[in-house]
Chain A
Amino acid sequence: MKYFNQFYLWGVDTKYRMGLYFSAAVFFKGLVNVLLGNWTVDIVVLLEMLLACFAFACLESAIFPYGKEWLAKGQGGRIALWAALANLIFIGCGLGLNWFPGIPLWGGLLLVLILEYALLAMWYALRLKERRDTAALNQGLRRFQEET
């Protein structure tokens, strides 16, 4: 039962991450298709994107298991590995599986830039959340120390 629960919790966490990446991939795929005058998305491409996102979410949960801090000191190597895998999987699949047929070179480069920005934004969001939590904790501490 213990192992089942561990697996179940892992599944819930990974599913959430996979869904997040998949929605972003589908959004950009849809946007590019619309800009290229194509109002449909192949189901095969959607399936490939889903699998790629699942693979990345699994690798991400292996690099940062539950409870492992993303922002702690000495995590630089893990973060670099995570970013490298994101680039490898999404750029590799985009090129290898031809997710964006007919896109000009500058459009492809723009998508890569957006990917890098998104990776940075995720890291920044975590840091922002941590800072806000720290401020709330210190405010609570001061209040406690003044009141008692």
Chain B
Amino acid sequence: MKITVEHIDLPENEVILRCPTLDEEMLGVLSLLRSGLQRLCVWDDSRRTTLLTPAEVVYCETVEDRVFVYTGQAMYQTALGLGELESRYSGLGFFRAGKSAVVNLHHIRSLASQGAGRIEATLVTGEKLMVSRRYAPLLRERLGL
């Protein structure tokens, strides 16, 4: 990718992306530019980008080095890693539930102690997600227990 920075007199900073199609690289750049806002830039199967509010996100997971974002109705991809998602939106309820998942605590319907230090989270979508033994103490701490 060719990067050009032009110093010209403009009333407002401007970024123009030029590309034949929105490929992974360009989606990643878009995502980075837009993540300056509190919104999360994601794209769907047809590579249509969408800006999600963190509150819309139920959980995120990595599958084969790709980060998928799940809302109650749809599934998207994002260029941000799980670590970035967690640190960026931690204050909005994002919590690292395992090596490959970040969950929005506001979208958990119930929690169940599973012995051996693990916790099973039932999401509002009805899906179940296991908080691993490593992250369960952090969840307890987050919940003030």
Is residue B105 contacting chain A, with contact meaning CB distance below 8 A? yes
Task: Report the count of interface residues on A (CB-CB < 8 A).
Answer: 21
Among A130, A131, A134, A144, max chain B CB count under 10 A is at A144
**In the assembled complex, B36 has its CB within 8 A of some CB on chain A:** no
Whether the Cβ atoms of A136 and B145 lie closer than 8 Å is yes
Known: A71-B115, A130-B115, A148-B93. A140 touches B105 (CB 8 A): no
Interface 0/1 of B133-145, CB less than 8 Å to A: 1000000101111
Q: Which one of B14-22, B77-85, B106-114 is at the A interface?
A: B106-114
Whole-angstrom distance between the Cβ of A86 and the nearest chain B Cβ = 20
Interface residues on B, range: 20 to 34
Q: Which of B115, B143, B145 contacts A72 (CB 8 A)?
A: B115
Please tell me if the beta carbons of A137 and B145 are within 8 angstroms of each other in the complex.
Answer: yes
Interface of B is mostly: mixed
- Residue A2 lies at the interface, judged by CB distance under 8 Å to chain B: no
Over the window 88-114 of chain A, the binary record of Cβ atoms lying under 8 Å from chain B Cβ atoms (1 yes, 0 no) is 000000000000000000000000000
Q: Are A140 and B144 in contact (CB under 8 A)?
A: yes
Assembled-state Cα–Cα distance A131/B110 (Å): 13
Cβ A143 vs Cβ B143 within 8 A: yes
What residues of chain B lie closer than 8 Å to A66, measured between beta carbons? 116
Shortest A144–chain B CB gap in Å is: 5
Contact code string B112-142 (vs A, CB < 8 Å = 1, else 0)? 1111111100000000000001000000101
Among residues of A, the one whose C-beta sits closest to the C-beta of B115 is A69
Structural contact, A130 and B142, CB atoms closer than 8 A: no
Which residues of A (1-17) have their CB < 8 Å from a CB of B?
none
* Complex interface: chain A residues within 8 A of B111 (CB): 134, 137-138, 141
Q: Which residue of A lies closest to B120 (CB)?
A: A134
Q: What would 6 A/B residue contacts be, using CB atoms closer than 8 Å?
A: A67-B133, A137-B113, A141-B143, A143-B144, A144-B142, A145-B106
The residues of A with any CB-CB pair to B shorter than 8 Å are 66-72, 126, 130-131, 133-134, 136-138, 140-141, 143-145, 148
Q: With A69-B115, A130-B115, A143-B144 given, can you name 14 additional A-B contacts, CB distance below 8 Å?
A: A66-B116, A69-B116, A69-B118, A72-B115, A131-B113, A134-B111, A134-B112, A137-B112, A137-B143, A141-B105, A141-B108, A141-B111, A141-B143, A148-B93
